Chain A
């Protein structure tokens, strides 16, 4: 992977001429495909800027005749969407931080320490990767209901923190880290916990970053589990709230599109800012995994 960044053969002369016809054709094709891919998003934005009656006009109008933010205004005024933003932020942050912490420790434990039952536990972990969370919704809801965790942040968060595959990826990465650094730290009297923090974590920053990004995106976008475990609209996350709660009535396509745009915007911005990390993260996780 790291070979990507090596800037080799920069002025390699006429081997690859800069703009040949096929290259231009490919670039044009690529851009056309990109536009097709962006079209639904643009259409959503377009609709959200129309006054409601214009949304259902036939034949359809391509651009709003008099663009207005009225739909956004009413979506925000209804209040719930801000609450859901907050819930999503809390949930996604908690899930990310806890998953990273718990998985890093466990990965270190499996990679570097021995204790009775380690093999059995690791076997269980591998088996856990095979268990799709989707088939657990029924018993897990019952459990949450007896623990009184339905409609709580912990009820949404804790099951999402159990990500055996993350532990597995991190363990494989730790396995590849040379033990020399650790031994040196041990000589200096560092505890093993300290070693995890000051040796393993810095050494595995890219892979931890990848895990963090995907855990965050996954938690922010997770629909099924929060959908099951939240019934109170004020505890819902963005995807669940948008799907279940109605804040307005009558003709409201512009408002629906406005709420969709608002619901999608945060991660689009994050992605635009951190594109390089996301792209690299997928590569790392994919090639390691």
Chain B
């Protein structure tokens, strides 16, 4: 990078707005590339290459064990479309996304409204609401598996103390996903909360003062001013959250390992299991690609949906 020292000629007038100035023609033309190069090389190696080699692998029966490699054509893809486990895990991923996104948005909003302009108390509230977000997935799941434990866990302890029946959260098919969602909301709502808080703090005080002078009640201020002004932030949060939720893996793998009876296994775990546990790199690559396409479609759809709105809001 130290090559980047073109002798500057101070002769040219400094006030021209166009930055293109006569220098050695080679560096002027190509010099910019040097700035992009370090990132570009890493990008090529660790993003572009695996993206392409993954596609390539999906046409072979590549094995982690490094044994025979044969060209399969589209057979991995055919197998995938007929593999119920692919669709079941894709469904689990979508169910998780659908279950987790609404509370992650609504609770974040409520938290932001509660914590906004609370003075000294604000520090404590921000800490409490956001703290879980800085914990690693493993710490979160160790704590929550312990909390959900039948017999001596906190949740069941509270349930039995209140005279209710115990629930074996993580080993019951229709409870396990709910348990994971509760944990996820606890863990990650803090990020959305901060986004809302920043947006709330960006609303000028005068708006409320003017409304108060006009006799608007607190409730009216909330529904007529605050929420409409937050709509752009809400759009942003929903977009970020949907894509983040689709990539679910950590919590589920660590809490239920996809069980019971695969009722919570997300698509990324199926990719992991096919590729590494069962050695089937080629097949896992095909599934990865299918999921990649799903994410791209969702992202583009959102971009269309919310991108348009964003422009209109400006």
Contacts and interface: CB of A to CB of B under 8 A. Distances in A.
B205 A132 contact: no
13 contacts: A1-B198, A31-B125, A56-B152, A60-B152, A110-B36, A115-B36, A136-B288, A228-B272, A239-B137, A243-B138, A264-B136, A267-B134, A283-B194
B289 interface: yes
A278 B43 contact: no
A102 interface: yes
Closest 4 CB pairs of A and B: A113-B32, A283-B198, A109-B35, A34-B128
Interface in A208-238: 217, 220-221, 223-224, 228, 238
A44 interface: yes
B88 interface: no
Interface in A252-278: 253, 256-257, 259-260, 263-264, 267-268, 270-272, 275, 278
Contacts of A137: 268, 271-272, 275, 288
Interface in B262-280: 268, 271-272, 275-276
Interface in A197-217: 217
B8 A189 contact: yes
B51 A131 contact: yes
B8 A109 contact: no
Contacts of B15: 183
Given A43-B154, A221-B137, A278-B130, A138 B296 contact: no
Contacts of B135: 221, 263-264, 267-268
B160 to A, nearest CB: 7
Interface of A: 1, 3-4, 8-9, 12, 15-16, 22, 26-27, 29-31, 33-35, 37-41, 43-44, 47, 55-60, 101-103, 105-106, 108-110, 112-118, 121, 124-125, 128, 130-132, 134-143, 158-159, 161-162, 164, 167, 179, 182-184, 186-187, 189-193, 196, 217, 220-221, 223-224, 228, 238-240, 242-243, 253, 256-257, 259-260, 263-264, 267-268, 270-272, 275, 278-280, 282-284, 286-287, 289
B306 interface: no
Given A105-B39, A271-B127, A221 B292 contact: no
A132 B292 contact: yes
Given A37-B129, A106-B38, A263 B139 contact: yes
A223 B136 contact: yes
Contacts of A186: 8, 14, 21
A275 B133 CA distance: 13
Contacts of A272: 127
Given A38-B128, A267-B135, A268-B135, A30 B142 contact: no
A41 B236 contact: no
Interface stretch (B75-83, B95-103, B111-119, B223-231): B111-119
Contacts of A47: 146
A186 to B, nearest CB: 6
B119 to A, nearest CB: 10
Contacts of B67: none
Contacts of A135: 54, 268, 271, 288-289, 291-292, 295
Given A3-B204, A113-B35, A179-B19, A159 B138 contact: no
Nearest to A243: B138
A130 B249 contact: no
B132 A37 contact: yes
Interface string B164-184: 000000000000000000000
A49 B142 CA distance: 16
Given A16-B212, A182-B19, A187-B14, A105 B125 contact: no
Which has the most chain B C-beta neighbours within 10 Å: A34, A189, A190, A284?
Answer: A34
B301 interface: no
Contacts of A289: 236
A243 B247 CA distance: 19
Interface of B: 1, 4-6, 8, 10, 14-15, 17, 19-21, 29-36, 38-40, 42-43, 45-51, 53-54, 57, 62, 110-111, 114-115, 118, 121, 123-139, 141-144, 146-147, 151-152, 154, 157, 160-161, 186, 191, 194-195, 197-199, 201-202, 204-205, 209, 212-213, 218, 233, 236, 243, 247, 249-250, 254, 268, 271-272, 275-276, 281, 284-285, 288-289, 291-292, 295-296, 299
Contacts, number: 321
B205 A179 contact: no
B147 to A, nearest CB: 6
A162 B250 contact: no
Contact of B125 (A34, A159, A182, A217): A34
A110 B7 CA distance: 22
Contacts of A132: 243, 247, 292, 295
B299 A130 contact: yes
Nearest to B292: A135
